[in-house]
């Protein structure tokens, strides 16, 4: 497939140049590298020659692929996550990617642009590649292709931070922070991260048998249900031994899936450069 670079060419001049190129030979498709925001008119040009647009948005350029319409993007499976409360959309998107084979594509839709942008940001970590992003009627969308995670990241760092440590020190007395602990944990798990939750100080109250079941927000499931879901999905819940002792809590008093851990465990987790640390 022929590639042309039109960086710095403003709209609509870029689309006019593409039209002239396709007039010579519209077969085989075309790859165009443009400056962001200069894609105006390309959809009309693609339609004129019976081609389909695939767009990959990068920081300093946009890669447009004009490919022959073999039913690809127009017959995409659609996944509408409108109405889902955060982190529902990213969890649903993660579950969908997990069921897809490399090369499969899906169109994710939502009426909230911020939700779509949030999903797009997470894609490189989840093994997804954003091919296109735009508006379809009243809804915003992403077209995602499943790829190997190593191929979905444009850059690599010397330390791969593929783990998340959520530190919770407030307990059931602060319902918002208690919920956030497990909501963020579930979001990280859906992105393929290894998750550890460390409860210390008043945070250990969450792990005491029966306590989490007393916390219920109208917009969410009961706190103990979220905790069980996180554990079942692979999260490890550590309970600070010192904080537990201060409150007379023993291992037998903890919910299933929670375990006492000492200062050495906590410091080791904090010192591990592969962990991103979130505090609640």
CATH number, domain with residue 130? 3.30.110.40
Domain boundary among 120, 152, 184: 152
Q: For 143-186, what is each residue's pLDDT tens digit?
A: 898 887 665 555 444 456 789 999 999 999 999 999 999 999 98
The answer to whether position 158 is within a domain reads: no
> 202 lies in which domain range?
163-279
The answer to whether position 157 is within a domain reads: no
| Long-range CB pairs of 210-216, under 8 A, 24+ apart, other chains included | 211/172, 212/172, 212/178, 212/255, 214/172, 215/172, 215/175, 215/178, 215/179
Domain boundary among 152, 182, 197: 152
Q: For 220-272, what is each residue's pLDDT tens digit?
A: 889 999 999 999 999 999 999 889 999 999 999 999 999 998 888 888 888 88
Pair (167, 261) in one structural domain: yes
Pair (167, 270) in one structural domain: yes
Query: Comparing C-alpha atoms, which of 124, 122, 135, 136 is closest to residue 87?
Result: 122
């Amino acid at each position: 497939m022929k590639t042309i670079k039109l960086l710095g060419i403003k709209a609509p001049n870029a689309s006019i140049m593409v039209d002239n190129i396709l007039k010579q030979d519209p077969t085989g498709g075309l790859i165009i590298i443009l400056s962001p925001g200069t894609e105006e008119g390309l959809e009309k040009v693609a339609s004129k020659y019976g081609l389909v647009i695939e767009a990959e948005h990068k920081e300093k350029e946009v890669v447009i692929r004009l490919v022959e319409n073999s039913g690809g993007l127009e017959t995409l499976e659609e996944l509408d996550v409108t109405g889902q409360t955060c982190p529902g959309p990213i969890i649903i998107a993660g579950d969908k990617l997990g069921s897809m084979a490399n090369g499969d594509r899906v169109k994710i839709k939502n009426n909230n642009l911020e939700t779509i942008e949030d999903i797009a940001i997470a894609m490189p970590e989840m093994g997804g590649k954003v091919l296109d992003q735009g508006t379809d009627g009243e809804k915003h969308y992403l077209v995602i292709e499943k790829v190997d995670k190593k191929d979905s990241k444009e850059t690599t760092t010397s330390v791969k931070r593929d783990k998340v440590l959520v530190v919770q020190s407030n307990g059931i007395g602060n319902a918002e922070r208690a919920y956030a602990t497990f909501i963020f944990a579930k979001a990280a798990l859906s992105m393929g991260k290894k998750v550890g939750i460390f409860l210390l100080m008043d945070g250990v109250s969450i792990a005491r048998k029966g306590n989490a079941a007393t916390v219920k927000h109208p917009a969410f499931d009961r706190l103990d249900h979220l905790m069980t879901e996180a554990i079942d999905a692979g999260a490890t819940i550590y309970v600070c031994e010192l904080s537990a002792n201060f409150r007379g809590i023993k291992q037998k008093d903890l919910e299933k899936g929670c375990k006492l851990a000492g200062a050495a465990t906590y410091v080791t987790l904090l010192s591990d450069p592969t962990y991103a640390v979130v505090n609640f």
